[in-house]
Structure 1
Amino acid sequence: MEYNVGKPDFNILRLGHIEYLVTDLARARDFYVDVIGLFETERDDDHVYLRAIEDREHHSVVLTRSAAPGVGHFSFRVSCEEDLDRLARKFNDLGCPIRWLAPGEERGQGRALRVQDPLGFQVEYYASMDQAPWMLQQYHLHRHGCPTRLDHLNVLVPDAQKGFDWYTRELGFYCSEYTQSAPPEDKVYGGWLYRKATIHDIAVMTGKGPTVHHAGFSVLEPMGIIRACDALAAAGYADNIERGPARHGISNALFVYVRDPDGNRFELYTGDYLTVDRDQVPKRWELDDPRRQSLWGSPPPRRWFEESMAVMSLETGEPMPTAAPLSRAIPNYVD
């Protein structure tokens, strides 16, 4: 596939953090810290700020008290403060709702721009964040799966081709892998898109949207997946293991998908590859090839395809309305 990578006047570096909405903040904190193995940086009455063992910034996950679960916002780090102003001009020209956050309004974070992007997601852009103690070699404090970083997001939109074009042409993302229908339609149904040097910071998929399917956390090595599953089962969360362990065709990653006590979904994964050479040709997957989902392992359950996380409106704070996909879906699930 030939595609156009835009050359915007701003520089997005990587995925930054995700905000999970949770109904019981104490329960969610204990789940992500004591069972999954993230580290608490700070908390207040309505938020808990978490980070993984490679993180040097204040947080990569925010747990926010809410009446219903879902995703409040997700963020990307940019290279400098001037990039925020350039992004603001872009979104103003597009007529998108925007809001500036003052330094510290989100704990530990500098000035930030929050927008409702053309796909319907509440996205935050920031250039600086307070430093936090680096846990990489604090081996005596590591537990269970030891998530190393927030690696990527997978989002669903009714028209994945539109989402693909937005991220590549307008925001300057590169593509590592994609699924595409055969001619004459010849349409992108999913794209794995990156700014950092791994296969994706965000994957844009065809589905009911705008919604977030999952956030993905990297772990150090394959046994981290098994240790995480053991910890979940021992803590009474065996039924929260939704899919896997198994290996994806796309990304080559060994994975397990987990639902938190509120039903928010995340993935623990390891074994993907570098994408340092920006001129590499993206790998194409046939839409009907089941190996793209599972190179090996049991097929996903139906809910893995049919359930995703609501995203909030920047203007109202309520869940964004969703629309059905414009194209067919090719599930490979079991009941």
Structure 2
Amino acid sequence: MPLPQFNLYPAFNTVRLSHVEFLVKDLAASRAFYVDMLGLQVTDEDSDTVYLRAMEERGHHCMVLKKSDTSAISYLALKVYSEEDLDKAKAYFDAKGHKTAWVERPFQGRTLRTHDNFGIPLEFYFKMDRLTPIHQKYALYHGVKPLRIDHFNCFTPDVDASVAFYNDIGFRVTEYTEDAESKKLFAAWLHRKGGVHDMAFTNGVGPRLHHTAFWVPTPLNIIDLLDLMSTTGYLANIERGPGRHGISNAFFLYILDPDGHRIEIYCSDYQTVDPDLEPIKWDLKDPQRQTLWGAPAPRSWFEHGSLFTDLPTQEPLLKAQPIIAP
């Protein structure tokens, strides 16, 4: 089906993705992975929760690690333009028949909890505690030197339906893969902040979180991380890469944390600020769409994902065979 026309005047305005809460079984192991290995900064912690931010971020946190008996994703969070947009968002989701609730979150102002068309838990807020800038405190930089959270990628059973939902709330498609025979979408990349994506959707058993991505300064930071992981007990956590995507043009590496949550380390994509920028179309059979150069993705990259808490999954509508590494 054709892509929907951009909705440049949505019912409420979202600035960007903001943060994610991971449920983890071993909080100490997860803290070591994200802080000591990747280089995220701890902004607050107690015996059950660790709050983290990357080096360029002024908000209190971009990731929350919460101790749990299960490994799962609690919610994906997005920042809106104003307090008024929170009320507009509640009215929008109420009119759609979605569950909504005001929830209390540490270090944040009013926070609206709801869900998308497939039940992915979403939280919207306007105000978060601001912290002192640390981007020029170079003594703090270590690991892969993460600068900021960049995007979420989710498995969905129906990419067309997910695109329609997020397009209606103002997300714009930058690139997409279409099956030539059915004309259905296999994957799509959508943004709010002017990069290639804040949210991406891939055909598969879902809804599940495929990965959370962090932006780093250069490809050399990724090479440094590979050296570090391979010599400190994390070799098996390297899943795919390094390489360069055709879609997004990004230099990438995919790794798994101690609970199996996938993280992409990411740099070198491009700006998409113009509101009339035409999306780039890729053929599903084009091998360079997923890997411009580098080894093909392993089967785990297409099949493994993180469950959202208490959210059942569905089989995908589109049956397509991805290009898998031998």
Q: Which amino acid letter does the alignment assign opposite residue 13 of structure 1?
A: V
Count of aligned pairs: 324
Please state how far the C-alpha of 1:52 moved relative to its aligned partner: 0.2
Structure 1: state its 5+ residue gaps: 313-317
SS of the residue 1:136 aligns to: coil
Task: Confirm or deny: 8 A CA contact 1:216 1:266 kept in the other structure.
Answer: yes
Task: Confirm or deny: 8 A CA contact 1:22 1:28 kept in the other structure.
Answer: yes
Are residue 311 (structure 1) and residue 313 (structure 2) matched?
Answer: no
- 1:129 counterpart residue number: 128
- 2:13 counterpart residue number: 11
1:108-133 deviation digits (Å, cap 9, x = unpaired): 11110011222210000000100122
Residue among 243, 247, 268 paired with 2:265: 268
Q: Counterparts in 2 of 1:36-75, with a 5 A limit?
A: 36-75=38-77
Q: Counterparts in 2 of 1:129-208, with a 5 A limit?
A: 129-168=128-167, 170-183=168-181, 185-208=182-205
- 2:217 counterpart residue number: 220
Q: Which amino acid letter does the alignment assign opposite residue 149 of structure 1?
A: R
SS of the residue 2:300 aligns to: helix
Are residue 330 (structure 1) and residue 321 (structure 2) matched?
Answer: yes
Cα distance in 1 for partners of 2:105, 2:271 equals 32
Q: Percent identity?
A: 44
- 1:99 counterpart residue number: 101
Please state how far the C-alpha of 1:27 moved relative to its aligned partner: 1.2
Q: Which amino acid letter does the alignment assign opposite residue 10 of structure 1?
A: F
Please state how far the C-alpha of 1:4 moved relative to its aligned partner: 1.3
- 2:233 counterpart residue number: 236
- 1:315 counterpart residue number: none
1:59-85 deviation digits (Å, cap 9, x = unpaired): 000001111112110111000111111
SS of the residue 2:249 aligns to: coil
Please state how far the C-alpha of 1:156 moved relative to its aligned partner: 0.9
Please state how far the C-alpha of 1:333 moved relative to its aligned partner: 1.2
Cα distance in 1 for partners of 2:78, 2:278 equals 25
Task: Confirm or deny: 8 A CA contact 2:75 2:122 kept in the other structure.
Answer: yes
1:188-226 deviation digits (Å, cap 9, x = unpaired): 221100000101000011110010100110001110111
Please state how far the C-alpha of 1:285 moved relative to its aligned partner: 0.1
Please state how far the C-alpha of 1:2 moved relative to its aligned partner: 5.4
Distance of aligned partners of 1:2 and 1:242 in 2 relative to their CA distance in 1, 3 Å threshold:
closer
Distance of aligned partners of 1:91 and 1:297 in 2 relative to their CA distance in 1, 3 Å threshold:
same
Cα distance in 1 for partners of 2:226, 2:22 equals 21
SS of the residue 1:143 aligns to: coil
1:27-52 deviation digits (Å, cap 9, x = unpaired): 11111000000000001232100000
1:272-308 deviation digits (Å, cap 9, x = unpaired): 0011212111110001111111001111111111110
Runs in 1 of length 4+ with deviation above 4 angstroms?
Answer: none
Length-normalised TM-score, structure 1:
0.94
Please state how far the C-alpha of 1:329 moved relative to its aligned partner: 2.4
Structure 2: state its 5+ residue gaps: none
Q: CA RMSD in A?
A: 1.2
Q: Which amino acid letter does the alignment assign opposite residue 292 of structure 2?
A: L
- 2:297 counterpart residue number: 300
Q: Counterparts in 2 of 1:102-113, with a 5 A limit?
A: 105-113=104-112
1:229-257 deviation digits (Å, cap 9, x = unpaired): 12212221011000000110000011100
Distance of aligned partners of 1:99 and 1:292 in 2 relative to their CA distance in 1, 3 Å threshold:
same
Task: Confirm or deny: 8 A CA contact 1:287 1:330 kept in the other structure.
Answer: no
Task: Confirm or deny: 8 A CA contact 1:37 1:144 kept in the other structure.
Answer: yes
Cα distance in 2 for partners of 1:35, 1:145 equals 8
Please state how far the C-alpha of 1:144 moved relative to its aligned partner: 2.0
- 1:76 counterpart residue number: 78
Task: Confirm or deny: 8 A CA contact 1:288 1:330 kept in the other structure.
Answer: no
Length-normalised TM-score, structure 2:
0.97
SS of the residue 2:214 aligns to: strand
